[in-house]
Amino acid sequence: MTTPKYVYVYANGHAEGRGDQKELLGGKGAGLAEMTNLGIPVPAGFTLTTEVCTYFNEHNKEYPPGLWEEVLDAMRQTEEAMGHRFGDPADPLLVSVRSGARVSMPGMMDTVLNLGLNDETVQGLIAKSGNERFGYDAYRRFITMYGDVVLGVPHSAFEEILDAKKEEVGVTLDTELSADDLKSLIAPYKALVLERTGKPFPEDPMEQLRGGINAVFDSWNVPRAITYRKLNNIPDHWGTAVNVVSMVYGNRGESSGTGVAFTRDPATGERIFFGEYLVDAQGEDVVAGIRTPLPIAELERQMPEIYRELVEIYQRLEAHYKDMQDMEFTVEEGKLYMLQTRTGKRTAQAAVRIAVEMVGEGLIDEATAVSRVEPAQLDQLLHPRIDTDQPVEVIAQGLPASPGAAVGEVVFTAESAIEEVAKGRQVILVRAETSPDDVGGMHVAEGILTARGGMTSHAAVVARGMGKCCVAGCSAITVDAEARQITVGDRVVREFDTLSLNGSTGEVILGAAKLIVPELSGDFNTLMGWADKIRTLKVRTNADTPEDAANAVAFGAEGIGLCRTEHMFFGEERLPVVQEMILAEDEAARRAALAKLLPFQRDDFLGLFRAMDGRPVTIRLLDPPLHEFLPSREGLIEEVATLRANGNNDGTLAEREALLAKVNHLHELNPMLGHRGCRLGISYPEIYEMQAEAIALAAATLAKEGKQIVPEIMVPLVGTVAEFRYLKERIVKVVEAVKARESVALDYLIGTMIEIPRAALTADRIAEEAQFFSCGTNDLTQMTFGYSRDDAGVFLPDYVEKKILPVDPFQVLDRDGVGQLVRMAVEKGRATRPELKVGICGEHGGEPSSIEFCHQVGLDYVSCSPFRVPIARLAAAQAVLADRG
């Protein structure tokens, strides 16, 4: 039995780990190892693997036996590489302890810097750096951070002591404090720790290290990290690695600095060296957005050699990883260190451009390019932007931190964002700056506006990751969260006032700006073309109007997978006729009303057929229960009671009572499971006959113009083959009669929805008659789980919160349950009718993970809303690539 290796060292141009070991070493650890092996300057250090985290969580916060010996050995190698010793009073090596999960979780977990400092070693640091202020600044920062993160003494308690000191010496900024001022903080800081924890602040560097490592592993399970994982579908069991890295300092004066850079512009995708840096600053200062940094181009002027070295490194890193990199670097007294490299987050626009251009550059192939863009992210490109041709009142200008547009009512805290959105409002979250605690609020907001912070600030990075519009660093505004208002010059914007954000320009606009549908770039179409070459699933759209249909065709829809005819019944001229039909006392009266609807329906279908220009069109016959077309029962009850109490006798009461009686008659306790779909068609065959006739007439009109259309007539809510057979016979009769009467040849298919569990269970029988299936996964999810979509809002969020469900099954197809039925429908259906066409037309048809499943089970097509068609095209291609492994 071999003992597992828990600690991986990188030092002296050699690393024990590799870049492809992200699962074991985390993203940061793998990146540091890989960079070390590439000969790129990295501060030496070592990584405790994610397996340690798992062990730690599963063993009541115990470590695996032998771990500490491995840490000590790794520390010896690190000391050797860096030429200092940890805890050496004369020339101490200082280290940071940082989290590093498989995928980046920016700012979610803890970090401690400057471990190894104590009353003795701080003297060595001062001696070696020749900078007493730097030494004490590092020391007091260390006590604050360690005290907060490891010992649980709130940051604010240290800040109080600091503020008192500033007041005492009469300064306002930390930087105005002298070395002596900073030195004088050490004793009260330590006293604070002793008072709050009952123990003295640990002087022993090894004890500090142990405490730091503990704290970082612990931080895997802080609430904000758990929330982030939930939002990003990161499994809890992955765990984080911990990196112990030699400290290097960007705050050792004018020849030092620190920065963040991307190998391409993460917002636009342009192939430029992009980044920001601060001179004489620690890395955290850039990310936290407290000081506004300089663009990386300035570095060429300020530190030309460093800039050249950095450019050479970034080019090597991108060429090595063949993807856009997000790097952190520090310059310590003229020496460059790379602290991290990882695949850079990017906007959808950038993702598309980078992927396409990298193919042009020969860096990657088309399939890789297709796999590089998150389908869900495309939403950003496909949703409306601000119409710049319309006059808008721009009240401030910030940084275009995450593109897109947002209109909403202003709120000032993450909590109120969540509350108001729950009430149905759309909100803009406005913060001076955001912190990881704001992530939940950012998630529900339409857009985020911050007064401080740069393009790589927390708000900007997180918003881009979410594909959410963000204007950051808008220093023209003053945010008063307490008073719930923003001041811009002499203008005041209050809570719930409406603002619009243009994340692509950084403009902050008063009121609701007009939004327009975006044009898609050439790169976008190129990428979609590649996706189309790869995918095998067809992509159709759910569209009820010629306008929607045309939109969807522009987005690449290859047909209509679901046209809901009931939407056509609600038109102003039609609803009275529909009500006449419902209130009819007998079949003759019903047929008379339906005859009036026929020309409307025929023209509806003709418009759709023309818009689709020969592409297949699936038309679902009337589905909802009839009471949906009548006034609400509750309203009538109230009205009748009021009329009665008021002694009405002008006939209104009698008329409303009669209507209420009919509505009561049609009332259902569970309309979802009631008299709807094909059940209506069977009770009143004349309704479906009218619709079938309208479809046939529209197709006949086109046929006479020499145009081909093969309508697919779809019967909803079928649960038994007998239902389908009963209706199919009648539909065929009507269509054949139209063909004969109009003397045209027409091809058509008659198929069914698979949306009742029993339809999936007996799909072999249903396929004896049905010529196609379309899986209605909305209803199928309702019935398979027994969740009413209209009512489940009461408990579903709680279910996801309590991890009873991993995600909302109405958003992401439940593979274990609903998916099992979909698979059954496909397999049983094709066992009877091998050529059976099977598609999906629920909301899941536009959701990437669900589309992957549809590909896996062998569906012919997915159908989704027009705006999601490109997402589906891309997801379908990625499903093929995932299959290839």
Give the binding site for a second copy (CB under 8 A): 633-634, 637-642, 644-646, 668-675, 679, 682-683, 717, 719-720, 722-723, 726, 755-758, 761-762, 765, 779, 782-788, 790-792, 794-795, 798-799, 802-805, 814, 816-818, 820-821
**Is the Cβ–Cβ distance between 497 and 410 less than 8 Å?**
yes
**178 vs 632, which CB is nearer to a second copy?**
632
Work out the burial of residue 634: count CB atoms within 10 Å of its CB; fewer than 13 is exposed, 13-18 middle, 19 or more buried.
Answer: exposed
**336 vs 821, which CB is nearer to a second copy?**
821
Query: Helices 132-149 and 155-169 sit at what angle, rounded to 10 degrees?
Result: 150
State in angstroms the smallest separation of the CB of 674 from a second copy. Answer: 4
**Residue written as tokens 């995708």?**
269
Query: Helices 205-218 and 50-58 sit at what angle, rounded to 10 degrees?
Result: 80
Who contacts 668 (Cβ-Cβ below 8 Å, separation ≥6)? 625, 627, 674, 675
**761 vs 881, which CB is nearer to a second copy?**
761
Nearest to 466 by CA among 505, 430, 440, 501: 440
State in angstroms the smallest separation of the CB of 755 from a second copy. Answer: 8
What is the number of other CB atoms lying within 10 angstroms of the CB of residue 425?
A: 16
**Is the Cβ–Cβ distance between 447 and 283 less than 8 Å?**
no
Three-class SS of residue 323?
A: coil
Handedness of CA 81, 85, 86, 92 (dihedral sign): negative
CA distance 630 to 269: 53
What single letter denotes the amino acid at residue 147? G
State in angstroms the smallest separation of the CB of 353 from a second copy. Answer: 42
**Residue written as tokens 């070696």?**
128
State in angstroms the smallest separation of the CB of 65 from a second copy. Answer: 31
Q: Per-residue DSSP letters for 146-189?
A: HHHHTT---HHHHHHHHHHHHHHHT-SSGGG--HHHHHHHHHHH
**601 vs 774, which CB is nearer to a second copy?**
774
**Is the Cβ–Cβ distance between 150 and 214 less than 8 Å?**
yes
State in angstroms the smallest separation of the CB of 225 from a second copy. Answer: 21
State in angstroms the smallest separation of the CB of 158 from a second copy. Answer: 37
Strand 274-279 to 257-262 pairing: antiparallel
**124 vs 716, which CB is nearer to a second copy?**
716
**Is the Cβ–Cβ distance between 84 and 203 less than 8 Å?**
no
What single letter denotes the amino acid at residue 224? R
Nearest to 641 by CA among 660, 626, 625: 660
CA distance 24 to 482: 45
Three-class SS of residue 506?
A: coil
Who contacts 262 (Cβ-Cβ below 8 Å, separation ≥6)? 273, 274, 275, 324, 325, 326, 327, 344
CA distance 5 to 742: 80
Q: Per-residue DSSP letters for 818-842?
A: HHHHHHHHHHHHHHH-TT-EEEE-S
CA distance 271 to 344: 13
Three-class SS of residue 83?
A: coil
Q: List beta partners, residue 774.
A: 753, 839
State in angstroms the smallest separation of the CB of 584 from a second copy. Answer: 16
CA distance 221 to 239: 9
**178 vs 642, which CB is nearer to a second copy?**
642
State in angstroms the smallest separation of the CB of 825 from a second copy. Answer: 13
State in angstroms the smallest separation of the CB of 677 from a second copy. Answer: 8
What single letter denotes the amino acid at residue 673? L
Three-class SS of residue 602?
A: helix
Catalytic residue among 470, 563, 678, 841: 841
What is the number of other CB atoms lying within 10 angstroms of the CB of residue 205?
A: 23
State in angstroms the smallest separation of the CB of 732 from a second copy. Answer: 17
Phi, psi for residue 841 in degrees, rounded to 5: -135, 15
**305 vs 791, which CB is nearer to a second copy?**
791
**354 vs 581, which CB is nearer to a second copy?**
581
Task: List, in sequence order, the alpha helices (H) in 372-413.
Answer: 379-382
Phi, psi for residue 395 in degrees, rounded to 5: -105, -15
State in angstroms the smallest separation of the CB of 582 from a second copy. Answer: 14
Query: Helices 67-82 and 205-218 sit at what angle, rounded to 10 degrees?
Result: 120
Tell me if residue 841 is catalytic.
yes
**633 vs 739, which CB is nearer to a second copy?**
633
State in angstroms the smallest separation of the CB of 752 from a second copy. Answer: 13
Catalytic residue among 84, 458, 844, 855: 458
Nearest to 753 by CA among 724, 729, 779, 773: 773
Strands of the sheet containing 14-15, edge to edge, are 14-15, 7-11, 45-48, 240-246, 95-101, 111-115
**106 vs 817, which CB is nearer to a second copy?**
817
Nearest to 732 by CA among 690, 772, 692: 692
**38 vs 760, which CB is nearer to a second copy?**
760
Tell me if residue 458 is catalytic.
yes
State in angstroms the smallest separation of the CB of 487 from a second copy. Answer: 38
**568 vs 796, which CB is nearer to a second copy?**
796
What is the set of active-site residues?
458, 841
